Amino acid sequence: MLSASDPLPHLPRRLLVAGVSGSGKTSLAARTATSLGLRYTELDSLFHGPNWEPRADFAADVERLTDAPGWATEWQYSAIRPLLAERADTLLWLDFPVPVSMWRLIRRTVRRRLRRVELWNGNFEGPLWSIFIDDDHIIRWGWRTRHSLRTAVPELEYEYPGLQVVRFGSPKDVEVWMDLLERRVSSHERQQL
């Protein structure tokens, strides 16, 4: 497993970002895709249909997405995680301390609810008070699954030997890695001229 300051053996072309709810998977996947010139697709937008119903075409959409030579997305939804890991060449793991991820999740959830941000296919965050009655409220889900990747991600290197895994232990690690990536991309582009 690589750290934020380790050089990558190759620039990612098929990129996944793993992390617990609220850790910043979507932001990092989109940001990295932009830096690398990859197409970014948010998996939640493929999964959630109107009224939060799962879309019937989800698996087929992910199959098409990962058939492309270059892409970036999140590593989530257990039914398709094996397909994603099999087809990816790089996985970035946001392994932040629980207080960091939970604070980010709570802040994001409150902001989305108060601003009435439309998420996917006409869906919005539910009322904040529902945290007290809804076992699947995103904040309760985040707390319940806060350690869910601690064994799953390290095992990926053995299950998928071609997958380079980079672990970030803090948001600062992400910035270090992004800076190194930007420099490498700039250098690569200069070499292509």
pLDDT digits (tens, 9 = 90+) for 71-110: 999 999 999 999 999 999 999 999 999 999 999 999 999 9
- Mention every residue, 6+ apart, whose C-beta is less than 8 A from residue 126: 113, 134, 137
CB distance 160 to 1 below 8 Å: no
pLDDT digits (tens, 9 = 90+) for 58-82: 999 999 999 999 999 999 999 999 9
**How confident is residue 188, by pLDDT bands cut at 50, 70 and 90?**
low
Residue 193: per-residue pLDDT: 47
In the predicted structure, residue 23 carries a pLDDT above the cut 50: yes
- Mention every residue, 6+ apart, whose C-beta is less than 8 A from residue 172: none
| CATH number 3.40.50.300 given to 14-95+150-192 | yes
**How confident is residue 55, by pLDDT bands cut at 50, 70 and 90?**
very high
CB distance 93 to 168 below 8 Å: yes
Residue 27: per-residue pLDDT: 97
**How confident is residue 127, by pLDDT bands cut at 50, 70 and 90?**
confident
